[in-house]
Structure 1
Amino acid sequence: MAGPLEKLRVLDLSRVLAGPWSTQILADMGAEVIKIERPVSGDDTRLWGPPWLKAESGEDTCESAYFLAANRGKHSLTVDISKPEGQKLIRELASQCDILVENFKTGGLASKGLDYASLSAINPGLIYCSITGFGHTGPMKDMAGYDYLIQAQGGLMSITGAADDQPGAGPKRVGVAVADLTTGMNATIAILGALYHRTQTGEGQHIDLALLDVQVSWLANQAQNYFCSGTPPKRTGDYHPNLVPYQPFPTANGEQIIIAVGNNGQFQRFCEAIGLGELAKVERFANNAKRVEHRVELINLLTTETKKRTLKELTELLNEIGVPCGPIQDIEQVFADPQVQARGMEVTLDSTHGPVKGVANPIKYSKTTLEYRKAPPALGEDTSAVLERVLNKTSHEIEELKSKGVV
């Protein structure tokens, strides 16, 4: 079975994470992705180490873990787009591509004749996705945006971290670059929508995607909490602002268990399982709204009982009665988890340096498949092959481009 995007070609002019995350998803879905990189230095993240991929000899290579995380399945082509000859190459490639993804600052490609207006004149069916920090309109359109800044300005840090009256209080950054990653996912969604539009009309279009917009949209229920109450949500640390009990609880062996009760039936079964069956009948704990109101008292009562059982005992007990629960695992434990292994969430690909492990794509199709055809590329490893195969350049023309420092 072929991937659902088989026979589509993507020109990837993006760097770092948001754009490359989107184009890696497209590659997993079967698209051919041609990644354009600067000669010599390449994508910024190639230098974002340690850690580095280890060769089979055990020594560090020059491939950073950060770069490897977002560039699976791509062909690396080095082009100096500051040179007219390099710009001409990009225009030629764009004429042969279905999709282009870029994350230059607003207007950064217009002076080179590589903006949407210029390239769509060559290829009217081109879907051109621009990813910036703040979008192509508004007072901040010319400013660079980075994930940490976006997490702060977009409100995420205001609801992440311990409450003001708790130890270690203060806004916290999420442990992965969620603004970048969710923007990459939204870019993929937008591109797929534009592809469907093209099947109906033959027209390509420009997609203007901003990290800040995506982060604001990702506030989801917390934004709706504000719209409904008129009060900005605060940091609540480990517990959920709208559900009780829905947080970590201590166990007898010092580990914590997450117990996530989503309805009254689950609450009643939970209480009965830990010997507090009468608690579910108490008026002030009878429904979720009342449990939120009396959170502190209830959690203290429940904690007294969870401390009497180990993590393993509680997990087995609650799983048997359908109360959602689980351990807090580090990343090594995640990839050793039988459920994660059963779902095939780790993949290994062969590279010039030896095997490269990576996180699999989570999509599971019944009729099509995802494709892990190529490890993240070494810088420029596909330059000659792409120029020859896609643009029909001769070996003499390719050598001339190399001698001029264009590729």
Structure 2
Amino acid sequence: EIFEAADANADSKLDFEEFVQYLQDHEKKMKLAFNNLDKNSDGVIDASEVVAAVKSLGIHISESQANSILKSIDSDGSMTIDWDEWRDYFFLHPAKNINEIVRFWKRSTVVDIGESIAIPDEFTEEEKKSGDWWKRLVAAGIASAVARTCTAPLDRLKIMMQVHSLKTRKMSLNTGFKLMVKEGGIFSLWRGNGVNVFKIAPETSLKIGAYEQYKKSLSFDGAQIGVLQRFIAGSLAGATAQTCIYPIEVIKTRLAVGTTGEYSGVVDCARKLLKQEGIRTFFKGYVPNLLGIVPYAGIDLAVYEILKNYWLEHFSGNSVNPGILILLACSTVSHSCGQLASFPLNLVRTRMQAEAMEEQTVHMIQLMKEIYRKEGKRGFFRGITPNIIKVLPAVGVGCVAYELVKPLFGLT
């Protein structure tokens, strides 16, 4: 990599003038990076400046973690880094290393579990130029489809428990599965999964594109945005994507709660809904769905940041690479907390999407009052058990599938 960077005329030969020019240009870049970190211009970089630099990349570390970074560069034991130490350490290290380290801890939610409306993944400039970004999206889409398909029976059971909670409170995991299999056979457990997989591509594309645009609007002079800006941009991107694909969400719910033979497929379901109930039916439950994005994305990101910082503070040692198991654990807990926070609105949304089956039309506040009057507070969490159970296998299957698919696209 160093040879290719220095070979200015790309003739696979390196003469003395090219080598000297490369060293001079590289030293200028290192000096600029050093000056950017040296905020008080005292000629040295201390722990507080390391904390501030990493924070600008969206990562929060403790002072002890900053001291560990300093130790790896500091050669005289002063716990500060002067220009000579900085130059000697980074002379043969590409500057992109710090971004690669940070990417270990950036929130990666390209692989979703069927209801993820949190912060999208971010792509480096190198990935955008090389075209790796679209390969990662395709690989993540395949992994997401596998994860959703593997947990589809739990997803359908959750919807059934949400919709029929006012009719019967006795539907448990066991009885729910038995009723679905008895009504439509074993394959009925995957009813509605096709449209759930189909919407991965448009939803992800819209979310990623909108997220990039909102990030640009929230940043100043091209500066890196922090956690708060990422949360705002992610929430707005989620709202934008959900608005565009919401009719598909309604169709998915109707297919999931429909009886065997009621709909022959996605197109037939859409045609019957349009003919029998009109265009407005495709946006029933839109308001609670939109309101649920903020608590989901906010709690999800906040819990992830807390767990990440706790691990960095107490268990990381001298390493900032947490490993797949730590990331998997953090993602599972944060997803679960996000779903708990937004589940009541999720239940109201699902009930409103399926309200035509009850032959009645109710508004959001009216429906919430009815649920509370008949079932109490617990009524807002009908179906939470299969929803929580599916998080760990969905995240795990998604991550494993993603790692297996990546080599097929030449990704490491």
> Which TM class, normalised by the smaller chain length?
under 0.3
Q: TM-score, normalised on structure 1?
A: 0.24
TM-score, with structure 2 as normaliser: 0.24
Query: Which of the two has greater helix per residue?
Result: 2
Structure with greater strand percent: 1
